[in-house]
Amino acid sequence: MISIDLNADLGEGFGRWRLTDDERLLSVVTSANVACGFHAGDAATMRRVCELAAERGVRIGAQVSYRDLAGFGRRAMDVPPAELAAEVAYQIGALEVFARAAGARVAYVKPHGALYNRVVHDEEQAGAVVDGVLLADASLPVLGLPGSRLLEQAGKAGLPVVTEAFADRAYTDAGTLVPRTLEGAVVTDPDTVVERSLGLARSGEVVSHSGTRIEVRARSLCLHGDTPGAVELARRVRQRLEASGVRVEAFA
């Protein structure tokens, strides 16, 4: 049977502000990418999300980012490799405290936003992220884009690598994500997102922004938690996958 993990970005709030419906999304997804305080999230939020995830058996992932609360981690930044490695390890360590307190562990690492896109091509920044993961826990899987420098370097360093796809993001013909600054970068039609999810899970293919069918082989499928109607959309995706014989389960 084909199986796929469903992950979502959670804990994306700060203080009194909340962008994601963490409790309801945790009833649907199998892996939670928890903001670790650099692009969103704070100590209380991290603790609450870890407790909710542990209660539901959802795997806890550290979603590491550039230090950019004002820009939600989506602004390009140049961070020296040694500094970036330390900050990645710092974020993982912070989340691990709350995961352990909830009776769980950090199960994987995934970069966020500008850092995620940067390490697709930038070997130096990718190496810094890998160094940070190794510093925190040399057994942690790294979740990222197929063919990225991040997964290449993580594999060379002996870290488990997990590929992911995006049902609600547009792809270039090269298999990378269309920048959010361009029109159509985010797929908003629910029916389209559901059908793209099924295609990615069953055939490992998706139609690119130009209309070309491309191959995107992935073990995990990401659904963004900060989009309008995210909970209902996630439910529809899971129901469609399971109704089509796809087993939805965590990779870690």
pLDDT digits (tens, 9 = 90+) for 205-225: 999 999 999 999 999 999 887
Residue whose token pair is 């997964």: 151
Three-state DSSP class for residue 163: strand
Mean pLDDT of 173-182: 92
Three-state DSSP class for residue 63: strand
Q: In whole angstroms, what is the distance from residue 250 CA to residue 199 CA?
A: 19
Q: What are the structural domains, with CATH classification, of the chain?
A: 3-248 (3.20.20.370)
CA torsion, ordered 136, 141, 144, 146, to nearest 10 deg: 140
Mean pLDDT of 78-87: 98
* pLDDT reading at 45 higher than 90: yes
pLDDT band at 180 (very low <50, low <70, confident <90, very high): confident
Q: What angle do CA 214, 194, 147 make, to 5 degrees?
A: 30
Query: Who contacts 75 (Cβ-Cβ below 8 Å, separation ≥6)?
Result: 66, 68, 114
Q: In whole angstroms, what is the distance from residue 110 CA to residue 127 CA?
A: 14
Tokens of residue 221, six digits: 């499928």
Report DSSP state, residue 70.
T
Nearest to 117 by CA among 157, 87, 80, 73: 73
Q: What is the mean pLDDT of the chain?
A: 95
Tokens of residue 4, six digits: 């796929």
Nearest to 65 by CA among 34, 96, 43, 44: 34
pLDDT in tens, 108-143: 999 999 999 999 999 999 999 999 999 999 999 999
Nearest to 175 by CA among 243, 120, 230, 245: 120
